[in-house]
Structure 1
């Protein structure tokens, strides 16, 4: 699968929304029931995390096919879920930039932001790549 890019319009629409519906593809090819997740844009990429860490059902399903579908009011795309390695806390690393994006976008929810930027959730960071 070749990586493709989000269009500028798609990135703007995704960034302007608080929630994204994520439906991972099961091993039999069917999609799960969509789950609402928070997402952030960092540069030209979109990232999601499981606030439940590796215990999150939707996250566990992504481990199988690595594929699924995402949607907002105006964006409707098949995607690949690509794991993002933790930079080990290096200042300025990608994970730190993703944390900063979550803090900026969802600052009005300090408790949930603390959860989505905690090590448990950070370990499940995935980049969404349009297919």
Structure 2
């Protein structure tokens, strides 16, 4: 497994949004989706506001692979379901980074959204 470099983590963590493209069955990439992401130590997470039934989340289930771009970094990644034991830390990271979006940040803190937390692992 490949890890994020410190420079990549700094740039991605500082970016407001990430562009996420998941792979189709034939290996081509779906259209990018702009979303929020957070860093927790040396890990990067995203969540689906619409839960596991959200269209982009379902797209990650095809091959569990894709590409992300943020902060001038573009990286091929694997999508891994986050361990539920990380949800509270990820919640805190979302509140710290996006809490100034009063009310909107709550959409990524629901049980539905928490259950659709993915870790982005470079490959």
Check if 1:56 corresponds to 2:54: yes
What's the C-alpha RMSD, in Å, of the aligned pairs?
Answer: 0.9
Number of residue pairs the alignment of both structures matches: 123
2:118 counterpart residue number: 126
> Is the CA contact 2:14–2:71 (under 8 Å) kept in the aligned structure 1?
no
1:113 counterpart residue number: 105
Q: Which runs of 4+ in 1 moved over 6 A?
A: none
The separation in 1 between residues aligned to 2:39 and 2:2, in whole angstroms, is 16
2:4 alignment partner, one of 3, 6, 9: 6
Q: Could you state the TM-score of these two structures normalised by the residue count of structure 1?
A: 0.90
Q: Could you state the TM-score of these two structures normalised by the residue count of structure 2?
A: 0.96
Secondary structure, in 3 states, of the residue corresponding to 1:103? Answer: helix
The separation in 2 between residues aligned to 1:23 and 1:98, in whole angstroms, is 21
What are structure 2's unaligned runs of at least 5 residues? none
What are structure 1's unaligned runs of at least 5 residues? 88-93
1:104 counterpart residue number: 96
**Structure with the largest fraction of strand:** 2
Secondary structure, in 3 states, of the residue corresponding to 1:65? Answer: coil
2:73 counterpart residue number: 75
